Protein backbone atom coordinates (compact mmCIF):
# COMPACT_ATOMS: atom_id res chain seq x y z
CA UNK A 1 0.00 0.00 0.00
CA UNK A 2 1.12 3.55 -0.72
CA UNK A 3 1.63 5.35 2.59
CA UNK A 4 -0.54 8.34 3.37
CA UNK A 5 1.06 11.51 1.98
CA UNK A 6 2.51 13.88 4.52
CA UNK A 7 2.65 17.64 4.63
CA UNK A 8 6.39 18.22 4.94
CA UNK A 9 6.37 22.01 5.06
CA UNK A 10 4.43 25.24 4.55
CA UNK A 11 5.89 28.66 3.74
CA UNK A 12 4.37 32.07 3.10
CA UNK A 13 5.34 35.32 1.39
CA UNK A 14 3.90 38.82 1.13
CA UNK A 15 4.73 41.76 -1.17
CA UNK A 16 6.68 44.78 0.13
CA UNK A 17 3.97 47.40 0.58
CA UNK A 18 2.22 47.27 3.97
CA UNK A 19 -1.08 49.15 4.05
CA UNK A 20 -2.57 50.12 7.40
CA UNK A 21 -6.33 49.78 7.51
CA UNK A 22 -6.83 53.34 8.72
CA UNK A 23 -4.78 54.66 5.80
CA UNK A 24 -6.72 52.50 3.34
CA UNK A 25 -10.05 53.71 4.74
CA UNK A 26 -9.04 57.35 4.44
CA UNK A 27 -7.79 56.91 0.88
CA UNK A 28 -10.85 54.89 -0.12
CA UNK A 29 -13.25 57.51 1.25
CA UNK A 30 -11.59 60.19 -0.85
CA UNK A 31 -11.48 58.10 -4.02
CA UNK A 32 -15.04 56.82 -3.76
CA UNK A 33 -16.37 60.26 -2.82
CA UNK A 34 -15.07 61.44 -6.19
CA UNK A 35 -17.50 58.98 -7.80
CA UNK A 36 -20.45 60.35 -5.79
CA UNK A 37 -21.20 57.08 -3.97
CA UNK A 38 -24.71 57.53 -2.53
CA UNK A 39 -24.27 55.03 0.33
CA UNK A 40 -20.63 55.78 1.15
CA UNK A 41 -21.24 56.99 4.71
CA UNK A 42 -23.34 53.92 5.45
CA UNK A 43 -20.73 51.53 4.04
CA UNK A 44 -17.50 53.07 5.39
CA UNK A 45 -17.81 51.37 8.84
CA UNK A 46 -16.96 48.08 7.10
CA UNK A 47 -13.31 49.18 7.23
CA UNK A 48 -13.45 49.51 11.02
CA UNK A 49 -15.48 46.34 11.56
CA UNK A 50 -13.47 44.04 9.28
CA UNK A 51 -11.10 42.88 12.02
CA UNK A 52 -8.12 43.98 9.90
CA UNK A 53 -5.24 46.19 11.01
CA UNK A 54 -2.82 45.74 8.12
CA UNK A 55 -2.61 44.23 4.65
CA UNK A 56 0.05 43.90 1.98
CA UNK A 57 -0.05 45.05 -1.62
CA UNK A 58 2.20 44.35 -4.61
CA UNK A 59 1.85 48.02 -5.63
CA UNK A 60 2.19 51.19 -3.52
CA UNK A 61 -0.97 52.89 -2.35
CA UNK A 62 -0.60 55.72 -4.86
CA UNK A 63 -1.14 53.17 -7.68
CA UNK A 64 -4.81 53.04 -6.72
CA UNK A 65 -5.24 56.73 -7.54
CA UNK A 66 -5.11 56.02 -11.29
CA UNK A 67 -7.32 53.98 -13.59
CA UNK A 68 -5.91 50.70 -14.92
CA UNK A 69 -6.95 48.30 -17.67
CA UNK A 70 -6.37 44.63 -18.42
CA UNK A 71 -2.91 45.11 -19.95
CA UNK A 72 -1.54 46.96 -16.94
CA UNK A 73 -3.13 44.65 -14.38
CA UNK A 74 -2.10 41.46 -16.23
CA UNK A 75 1.55 42.50 -16.45
CA UNK A 76 1.65 43.39 -12.75
CA UNK A 77 -0.12 40.14 -11.86
CA UNK A 78 2.33 37.92 -13.72
CA UNK A 79 5.48 39.71 -12.51
CA UNK A 80 4.51 39.87 -8.85
CA UNK A 81 2.81 36.46 -8.70
CA UNK A 82 5.90 34.74 -10.05
CA UNK A 83 8.18 36.64 -7.68
CA UNK A 84 6.10 35.78 -4.61
CA UNK A 85 5.69 32.13 -5.60
CA UNK A 86 9.43 31.78 -6.16
CA UNK A 87 10.08 33.14 -2.67
CA UNK A 88 7.48 30.91 -0.99
CA UNK A 89 8.44 27.85 -3.06
CA UNK A 90 12.14 28.11 -2.23
CA UNK A 91 11.37 28.50 1.46
CA UNK A 92 8.98 25.53 1.48
CA UNK A 93 11.60 23.31 -0.17
CA UNK A 94 14.27 24.49 2.27
CA UNK A 95 12.03 23.75 5.26
CA UNK A 96 11.37 20.27 3.85
CA UNK A 97 15.14 19.82 3.32
CA UNK A 98 14.58 19.08 -0.36
CA UNK A 99 16.07 20.35 -3.61
CA UNK A 100 14.06 21.57 -6.64
CA UNK A 101 15.04 18.44 -8.57
CA UNK A 102 13.27 16.33 -5.92
CA UNK A 103 9.88 17.72 -7.02
CA UNK A 104 7.86 15.36 -9.24
CA UNK A 105 4.73 17.51 -9.69
CA UNK A 106 3.65 21.09 -9.14
CA UNK A 107 0.12 22.35 -8.45
CA UNK A 108 -0.36 26.09 -9.01
CA UNK A 109 -3.52 27.81 -7.72
CA UNK A 110 -4.66 31.35 -8.49
CA UNK A 111 -7.87 33.13 -9.48
CA UNK A 112 -6.98 36.84 -9.39
CA UNK A 113 -5.20 37.04 -12.73
CA UNK A 114 -4.58 35.30 -16.03
CA UNK A 115 -1.25 34.05 -17.33
CA UNK A 116 -0.61 31.80 -20.33
CA UNK A 117 1.80 30.03 -20.13
CA UNK A 118 0.51 29.36 -16.63
CA UNK A 119 2.48 30.35 -13.54
CA UNK A 120 3.75 26.81 -12.93
CA UNK A 121 5.39 26.75 -16.38
CA UNK A 122 7.14 30.05 -15.71
CA UNK A 123 8.38 28.77 -12.35
CA UNK A 124 10.00 25.61 -13.73
CA UNK A 125 12.97 27.67 -14.82
CA UNK A 126 12.83 30.17 -11.95
CA UNK A 127 12.90 27.45 -9.31
CA UNK A 128 15.11 24.99 -11.21
CA UNK A 129 12.50 22.23 -11.33
CA UNK A 130 13.04 19.18 -13.55
CA UNK A 131 11.87 19.46 -17.14
CA UNK A 132 9.69 16.36 -16.74
CA UNK A 133 7.79 17.72 -13.74
CA UNK A 134 4.02 17.21 -13.92
CA UNK A 135 1.98 20.42 -13.97
CA UNK A 136 -1.52 21.07 -12.67
CA UNK A 137 -2.66 24.72 -12.84
CA UNK A 138 -5.97 25.40 -11.06
CA UNK A 139 -8.07 28.49 -11.79
CA UNK A 140 -11.47 29.74 -10.63
CA UNK A 141 -11.54 28.22 -7.14
CA UNK A 142 -11.37 31.58 -5.37
CA UNK A 143 -11.11 31.44 -1.60
CA UNK A 144 -11.50 27.64 -1.63
CA UNK A 145 -8.36 27.23 -3.73
CA UNK A 146 -5.95 26.72 -0.84
CA UNK A 147 -7.85 23.75 0.57
CA UNK A 148 -8.72 22.22 -2.81
CA UNK A 149 -5.18 22.76 -4.07
CA UNK A 150 -3.79 20.92 -1.04
CA UNK A 151 -6.27 18.10 -1.66
CA UNK A 152 -5.20 17.80 -5.32
CA UNK A 153 -1.53 17.79 -4.30
CA UNK A 154 -2.30 14.95 -1.88
CA UNK A 155 -4.10 13.05 -4.67
CA UNK A 156 -1.03 13.29 -6.90
CA UNK A 157 1.27 12.15 -4.09
CA UNK A 158 -1.08 9.32 -3.21
CA UNK A 159 -1.21 8.01 -6.81
CA UNK A 160 2.42 6.86 -6.91
CA UNK A 161 4.59 6.01 -3.92
CA UNK A 162 7.53 8.33 -3.45
CA UNK A 163 5.94 11.26 -5.29
CA UNK A 164 6.79 14.76 -4.03
CA UNK A 165 4.43 17.59 -4.94
CA UNK A 166 5.04 21.32 -4.62
CA UNK A 167 1.83 23.30 -4.05
CA UNK A 168 1.99 26.97 -5.04
CA UNK A 169 -0.86 29.39 -4.23
CA UNK A 170 -0.89 33.12 -4.99
CA UNK A 171 -3.58 35.78 -5.04
CA UNK A 172 -3.14 39.47 -5.84
CA UNK A 173 -6.62 40.56 -4.86
CA UNK A 174 -5.75 44.23 -4.47
CA UNK A 175 -5.06 44.54 -8.22
CA UNK A 176 -8.82 44.23 -8.77
CA UNK A 177 -9.51 47.60 -7.09
CA UNK A 178 -11.77 49.78 -9.25
CA UNK A 179 -12.03 53.36 -8.02
CA UNK A 180 -15.08 54.24 -10.13
CA UNK A 181 -17.10 51.26 -8.90
CA UNK A 182 -19.17 52.38 -5.91
CA UNK A 183 -21.10 49.12 -5.58
CA UNK A 184 -21.31 47.57 -2.14
CA UNK A 185 -19.31 44.52 -3.29
CA UNK A 186 -16.39 46.67 -4.46
CA UNK A 187 -16.33 48.77 -1.30
CA UNK A 188 -16.42 45.65 0.89
CA UNK A 189 -13.68 44.06 -1.25
CA UNK A 190 -11.57 47.19 -0.79
CA UNK A 191 -11.97 46.81 2.98
CA UNK A 192 -11.04 43.11 3.02
CA UNK A 193 -8.60 42.02 0.35
CA UNK A 194 -4.81 41.82 0.40
CA UNK A 195 -2.04 40.12 -1.55
CA UNK A 196 0.07 37.11 -0.63
CA UNK A 197 1.44 33.70 -1.58
CA UNK A 198 2.04 30.35 0.07
CA UNK A 199 3.73 27.09 -0.81
CA UNK A 200 3.61 23.59 0.64
CA UNK A 201 5.47 20.35 0.07
CA UNK A 202 3.46 17.11 0.07
CA UNK A 203 5.10 13.72 -0.29
CA UNK A 204 4.36 9.99 -0.12
CA UNK A 205 8.06 9.25 0.08
CA UNK A 206 8.42 9.52 3.84
CA UNK A 207 9.42 12.37 6.09
CA UNK A 208 7.96 14.10 9.10
CA UNK A 209 4.73 16.07 9.10
CA UNK A 210 0.98 15.67 9.47
CA UNK A 211 -0.65 12.93 7.41
CA UNK A 212 -3.08 14.16 4.77
CA UNK A 213 -6.33 12.27 5.06
CA UNK A 214 -9.69 12.54 3.35
CA UNK A 215 -10.80 15.60 1.42
CA UNK A 216 -14.22 16.61 0.18
CA UNK A 217 -16.37 19.35 -1.32
CA UNK A 218 -19.97 20.43 -1.23
CA UNK A 219 -21.51 22.76 -3.82
CA UNK A 220 -24.83 24.40 -3.00
CA UNK A 221 -27.55 24.25 -5.64
CA UNK A 222 -28.52 27.47 -7.43
CA UNK A 223 -25.63 29.35 -5.83
CA UNK A 224 -23.49 30.56 -8.74
CA UNK A 225 -24.16 34.20 -7.85
CA UNK A 226 -23.01 33.93 -4.22
CA UNK A 227 -19.30 34.53 -4.88
CA UNK A 228 -17.00 35.09 -7.83
CA UNK A 229 -15.68 37.61 -10.34
CA UNK A 230 -17.47 39.51 -13.08
CA UNK A 231 -15.24 40.19 -16.08
CA UNK A 232 -15.42 43.87 -17.02
CA UNK A 233 -13.64 46.05 -19.57
CA UNK A 234 -11.08 47.25 -17.04
CA UNK A 235 -10.54 44.10 -14.98
CA UNK A 236 -12.16 41.74 -12.52
CA UNK A 237 -15.04 42.90 -10.33
CA UNK A 238 -15.68 41.16 -7.02
CA UNK A 239 -19.04 39.48 -6.46
CA UNK A 240 -20.15 38.15 -3.09
CA UNK A 241 -23.45 37.90 -1.36
CA UNK A 242 -24.33 39.37 2.02
CA UNK A 243 -25.97 35.99 2.75
CA UNK A 244 -22.67 34.08 3.15
CA UNK A 245 -22.61 34.22 6.99
CA UNK A 246 -26.27 33.10 7.06
CA UNK A 247 -25.52 30.17 4.73
CA UNK A 248 -22.64 29.15 6.98
CA UNK A 249 -24.78 29.27 10.12
CA UNK A 250 -27.62 27.37 8.48
CA UNK A 251 -25.79 24.68 6.53
CA UNK A 252 -22.11 24.31 7.39
CA UNK A 253 -22.52 22.02 10.38
CA UNK A 254 -24.69 19.54 8.47
CA UNK A 255 -22.38 19.64 5.44
CA UNK A 256 -19.28 19.02 7.56
CA UNK A 257 -21.05 16.28 9.50
CA UNK A 258 -22.00 14.50 6.28
CA UNK A 259 -18.42 14.77 4.96
CA UNK A 260 -16.98 13.33 8.16
CA UNK A 261 -19.59 10.56 8.34
CA UNK A 262 -18.44 9.28 4.95
CA UNK A 263 -15.10 8.61 6.62
CA UNK A 264 -16.49 7.19 9.89
CA UNK A 265 -15.78 10.39 11.83
CA UNK A 266 -17.77 13.04 13.68
CA UNK A 267 -17.16 16.66 14.59
CA UNK A 268 -16.20 15.45 18.06
CA UNK A 269 -13.20 13.71 16.46
CA UNK A 270 -11.76 17.04 15.25
CA UNK A 271 -9.19 18.51 17.61
CA UNK A 272 -8.47 21.68 15.63
CA UNK A 273 -10.53 23.63 13.12
CA UNK A 274 -8.39 25.57 10.61
CA UNK A 275 -10.78 27.82 8.72
CA UNK A 276 -10.29 30.32 5.94
CA UNK A 277 -10.96 33.73 7.51
CA UNK A 278 -13.08 35.26 4.77
CA UNK A 279 -14.12 38.01 7.15
CA UNK A 280 -14.91 38.62 10.80
CA UNK A 281 -18.60 37.79 10.33
CA UNK A 282 -17.78 34.55 8.52
CA UNK A 283 -15.42 33.46 11.33
CA UNK A 284 -18.15 34.12 13.90
CA UNK A 285 -20.62 32.13 11.78
CA UNK A 286 -18.15 29.21 11.56
CA UNK A 287 -17.70 29.23 15.34
CA UNK A 288 -21.46 29.10 15.75
CA UNK A 289 -21.86 26.35 13.14
CA UNK A 290 -19.20 24.14 14.75
CA UNK A 291 -20.39 25.12 18.25
CA UNK A 292 -17.04 26.51 19.26
CA UNK A 293 -16.59 29.18 21.94
CA UNK A 294 -16.69 32.80 20.77
CA UNK A 295 -13.26 33.75 19.46
CA UNK A 296 -12.06 30.14 19.37
CA UNK A 297 -10.66 30.48 15.84
CA UNK A 298 -7.74 32.46 17.24
CA UNK A 299 -5.25 31.81 14.45
CA UNK A 300 -7.78 32.71 11.75
CA UNK A 301 -8.58 36.01 13.44
CA UNK A 302 -4.88 36.78 13.86
CA UNK A 303 -4.16 36.15 10.17
CA UNK A 304 -7.15 38.27 9.14
CA UNK A 305 -5.91 41.05 11.43
CA UNK A 306 -2.34 40.99 10.11
CA UNK A 307 -2.86 40.21 6.41
CA UNK A 308 -6.52 40.68 5.48
CA UNK A 309 -8.33 38.24 3.21
CA UNK A 310 -5.86 36.95 0.61
CA UNK A 311 -8.44 34.63 -0.94
CA UNK A 312 -7.07 31.08 -1.51
CA UNK A 313 -3.78 31.87 0.20
CA UNK A 314 -5.21 32.81 3.59
CA UNK A 315 -6.02 29.36 4.98
CA UNK A 316 -2.41 28.29 4.35
CA UNK A 317 -1.23 31.26 6.43
CA UNK A 318 -3.52 29.99 9.20
CA UNK A 319 -2.19 26.44 8.78
CA UNK A 320 1.41 27.69 8.93
CA UNK A 321 0.68 29.54 12.16
CA UNK A 322 -0.95 26.45 13.70
CA UNK A 323 1.91 24.15 12.68
CA UNK A 324 4.57 26.51 14.04
CA UNK A 325 2.74 26.53 17.38
CA UNK A 326 2.98 22.73 17.58
CA UNK A 327 -0.08 20.94 16.19
CA UNK A 328 -1.66 17.94 17.82
CA UNK A 329 -4.38 15.51 16.91
CA UNK A 330 -6.75 15.61 13.96
CA UNK A 331 -7.24 18.90 12.13
CA UNK A 332 -9.83 19.92 9.55
CA UNK A 333 -9.17 22.67 7.03
CA UNK A 334 -12.22 24.41 5.62
CA UNK A 335 -12.76 27.15 3.07
CA UNK A 336 -15.63 28.59 1.04
CA UNK A 337 -15.33 29.61 -2.59
CA UNK A 338 -17.19 30.26 -5.84
CA UNK A 339 -19.60 27.59 -6.83
CA UNK A 340 -20.77 28.22 -4.03
CA UNK A 341 -18.55 25.48 -2.57
CA UNK A 342 -17.32 24.34 0.83
CA UNK A 343 -13.99 22.50 0.78
CA UNK A 344 -12.55 20.20 3.44
CA UNK A 345 -9.16 18.56 4.06
CA UNK A 346 -8.25 16.40 7.04
CA UNK A 347 -4.76 16.30 8.57
CA UNK A 348 -3.55 14.05 11.37
CA UNK A 349 -0.60 15.17 13.48
CA UNK A 350 -1.05 12.60 16.25
pLDDT digits (tens, 9 = 90+) for 288-300: 999 999 989 999 9
Give me the pLDDT at residue 202, please. 98
Q: Which helix (H) or strand (E) holds 8?
A: strand 6-13
Domains 6-203 and 211-348 share a fold: yes
Question: Which of 76, 68, 71, 132 shows the shortest CA–CA distance to 100?
Answer: 132
Is residue 235 scored above 80 in pLDDT? Answer: no
Mean pLDDT, range 269-278, rounded to an integer: 95
| pLDDT single digits (tens) 2-54 | 789 999 999 999 999 999 999 998 888 888 776 666 677 777 888 888 899 99
6-203 CATH pick, 3.40.47.10, 3.30.360.10, 3.30.70.940, 3.40.50.720 = 3.40.47.10
Tell me the C-alpha to C-alpha distance, in Å, between residue 304 and each of 31, 49, 103, 238.
24, 12, 31, 19
173 catalytically annotated? no
Task: List phi, psi (to 5°) of 131.
Answer: -75, -15
DSSP 8-class letter at 5? P
153 three-class SS: helix
Domain spans in the chain, listed from the N-terminal domain onward: 6-203, 211-348
Whole-number percent of the chain with pLDDT over 70 = 98
Question: Percent of the chain at pLDDT above 90?
Answer: 71
Q: What is the pLDDT of residue 100?
A: 97
Question: Is the model more confident about 232 or about 324?
Answer: 324
CATH of 211-348, one of 3.40.50.970, 3.40.47.10, 3.40.50.300, 3.40.50.720: 3.40.47.10
Amino acid sequence: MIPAPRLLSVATAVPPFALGQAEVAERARRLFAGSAAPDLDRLMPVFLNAGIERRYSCVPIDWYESSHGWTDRAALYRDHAVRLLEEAGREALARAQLQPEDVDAVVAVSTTGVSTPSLDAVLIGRLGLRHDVKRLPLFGLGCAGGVIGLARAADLARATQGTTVLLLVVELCALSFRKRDVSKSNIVATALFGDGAAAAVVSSGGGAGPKLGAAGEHTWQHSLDVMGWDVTEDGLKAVFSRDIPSLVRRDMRDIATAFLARHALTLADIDRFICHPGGAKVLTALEEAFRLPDGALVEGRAVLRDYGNMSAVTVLFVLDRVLRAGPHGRMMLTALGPGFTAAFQLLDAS
